[in-house]
């Protein structure tokens, strides 16, 4: 099967990371992914993809992109056009009109929930409402089927876009364990040396682009509450800069965390950073899935995360979940894990079992290959 995958770009996000990890496993199942990107990315997973699988659109406007994608659909005749992210969804749906190519759209975030508007002051509620109307109409009329990365995202699409439940198939995300590597005392010690950390430091690690969605400011506030009682506390933050970066820089200065919090930028060595961590914190306000938490679980790092629908699905009882946007409760949860080594070990063991049972990459590949075949056959 030939799948043409239209996406904004193969950058640093969890969606892109999951796709690249999935490519070889889908190939073993007779499914070939070819990526059509709306932009080139200097950071992220683009460099990991075979150049023969990558195409880039040259047009800078919607009409030009539609023409380019339409030309590709007529020339390549893929079995399915798979779209992800709003600009790609809009472009792909319109380009596929009259081509007889079935369209599969991935739902990766609860885009229209109140939490998103509350978390990001730059979002215009009126504009988002208009986008929602267009998205709902095109989804109802120009999309053959939907893929949701979690039950939480599926429920959101049903409630906010009025999509029929039988038009949405849930397939979660997986991670390639070999990419992350194997944790060991030697690896932990070496990474800490490289980062200028000691064996006595208590390392809290988080990963995610610097956007309000990720809740970094609440983690900074939690760390400031713990610092007076934990002189060896250190916070590592991996992820590219975003719209929340200026506020985070001001928060570090206001809270006096310049010698505690270290912003590492985008990193390709997440497995190493997880090896050096004592606890992984994921304080998101909203999520569609939570791939960063899944990576921490796979590496046996105890997780403290926001108690939101998607993370309840991913983390479950293998981590400590706390109400979002509550620095005080986040600090209490971090203290529990840092102080109780038995609890930390139990959480790590449960997490590995949960990843292997619920999110094995080979199982995810089986489900996606089956979904592609169903969409291609019109079932």
Phi, psi for 32 (deg, rounded to 5): -105, 120
Q: Who contacts 336 (Cβ-Cβ below 8 Å, separation ≥6)?
A: 320, 343
Q: For 183, how many CA atoms within 13 A lie in the half-sphere containing its CB?
A: 19
> Number of helices and strands (H, E) in the chain?
16, 13
Q: Are 184 and 258 a contacting pair, CB within 8 Å?
A: no
* pLDDT for residue 200 is more than 80: yes
Among 133-137, 175-179, 230-234, 239-243, the range scoring the smallest mean pLDDT is 175-179
What is the Cα–Cα distance from 252 to 69, expressed in whole angstroms? Answer: 45
323 vs 7, 111, 339, CA distance in Å?
33, 20, 21
Domain with CATH 3.40.50.2000 in the chain: 2-174+360-377, 181-358
Q: At what angle do helices 14-28 and 361-377 cross, to 10 degrees?
A: 80
pLDDT digits (tens, 9 = 90+) for 241-290: 999 999 999 999 999 999 999 999 999 999 999 999 999 999 999 999 99
Length of the chain: 379
Q: How confident is the model at residue 243, as a pLDDT?
A: 93
Average pLDDT, the chain: 96
The average pLDDT across 177-183 equals: 91
What is the Cα–Cα distance from 262 to 360, expressed in whole angstroms? Answer: 32
Q: How confident is the model at residue 42, as a pLDDT?
A: 83
Among 108-122, 189-203, 216-230, 247-261, the range scoring the smallest mean pLDDT is 108-122
Q: Which helix (H) or strand (E) holds 35?
A: strand 32-37
* pLDDT for residue 379 is more than 80: no
Confidence of residue 43 (pLDDT cuts 50, 70, 90): confident
What is the Cα–Cα distance from 189 to 79, expressed in whole angstroms? Answer: 49
Do β-strands 80-84 and 2-7 pair in parallel, antiparallel, or remain unpaired?
parallel
What is the Cα–Cα distance from 116 to 290, expressed in whole angstroms? Answer: 15
DSSP symbol at 102? -
The average pLDDT across 4-24 equals: 93
pLDDT digits (tens, 9 = 90+) for 84-94: 999 999 999 99
Q: How confident is the model at residue 44, as a pLDDT?
A: 86
pLDDT digits (tens, 9 = 90+) for 298-348: 999 999 999 999 999 999 999 999 999 999 999 999 999 999 999 999 999
CATH code given to domain 181-358: 3.40.50.2000
What is the Cα–Cα distance from 267 to 275, expressed in whole angstroms? Answer: 14
Question: Which is nearest to 305 in space by CA: 276, 288, 285?
Answer: 285
What is the Cα–Cα distance from 206 to 283, expressed in whole angstroms? Answer: 9
Q: Who contacts 116 (Cβ-Cβ below 8 Å, separation ≥6)?
A: 109, 110, 123, 128, 213, 285, 286
pLDDT digits (tens, 9 = 90+) for 44-98: 899 899 988 999 999 999 999 999 999 999 999 999 999 999 999 999 999 999 9
CATH code given to domain 2-174+360-377: 3.40.50.2000
What is the Cα–Cα distance from 217 to 264, expressed in whole angstroms? Answer: 16
């Amino acid at each position: 099967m030939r799948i043409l995958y239209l996406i904004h770009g193969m950058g640093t996000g969890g969606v892109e990371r999951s796709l690249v990890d999935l490519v070889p496993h889908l190939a073993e199942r007779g499914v070939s992914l070819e990526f059509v990107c709306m932009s080139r990315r200097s950071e992220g997973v683009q460099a990991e993809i075979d150049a023969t699988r990558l195409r880039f659109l040259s047009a800078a406007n919607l009409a030009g992109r539609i023409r380019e994608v339409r030309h590709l659909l007529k020339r390549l005749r893929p079995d399915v056009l798979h779209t992800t992210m709003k600009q790609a969804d809009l472009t792909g749906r319109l380009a596929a009109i009259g081509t007889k190519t079935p369209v599969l759209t991935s739902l990766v975030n609860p885009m229209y929930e109140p939490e998103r508007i509350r978390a990001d002051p730059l979002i215009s509620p009126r504009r988002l409402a208009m986008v929602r109307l267009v998205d709902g109409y095109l989804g109802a009329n120009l999309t053959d089927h939907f893929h949701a990365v979690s039950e939480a995202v599926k429920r959101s699409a049903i409630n906010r876009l009025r999509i029929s439940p039988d038009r949405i198939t849930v397939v979660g995300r997986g991670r390639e364990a070999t990419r992350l590597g194997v944790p060991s005392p030697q690896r932990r010690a070496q990474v800490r040396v490289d980062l200028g950390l000691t064996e006595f430091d208590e390392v809290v690690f988080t990963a995610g682009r610097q956007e309000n969605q990720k809740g970094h400011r609440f983690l900074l506030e939690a760390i400031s509450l713990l610092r007076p009682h934990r002189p060896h506390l250190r916070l590592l933050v991996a992820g590219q800069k975003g719209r929340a970066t200026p506020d985070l820089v001001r928060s570090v200065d206001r809270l006096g965390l310049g010698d505690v919090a270290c912003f590492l930028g985008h990193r390709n060595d997440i497995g190493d950073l997880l090896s050096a961590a004592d606890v992984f914190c994921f304080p998101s306000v909203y999520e569609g899935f939570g791939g960063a938490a899944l990576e921490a679980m796979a590496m046996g790092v105890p997780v403290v995360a926001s108690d939101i629908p998607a993370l309840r699905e991913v983390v479950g009882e293998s981590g400590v979940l706390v109400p979002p946007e509550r620095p005080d409760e986040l600090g209490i949860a971090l203290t529990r894990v840092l102080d109780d080594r038995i609890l930390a070990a139990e959480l790590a063991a449960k997490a590995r079992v949960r990843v292997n049972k619920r999110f094995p990459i080979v199982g995810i590949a089986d489900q996606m290959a089956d979904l592609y075949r169903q969409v291609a056959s019109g079932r």
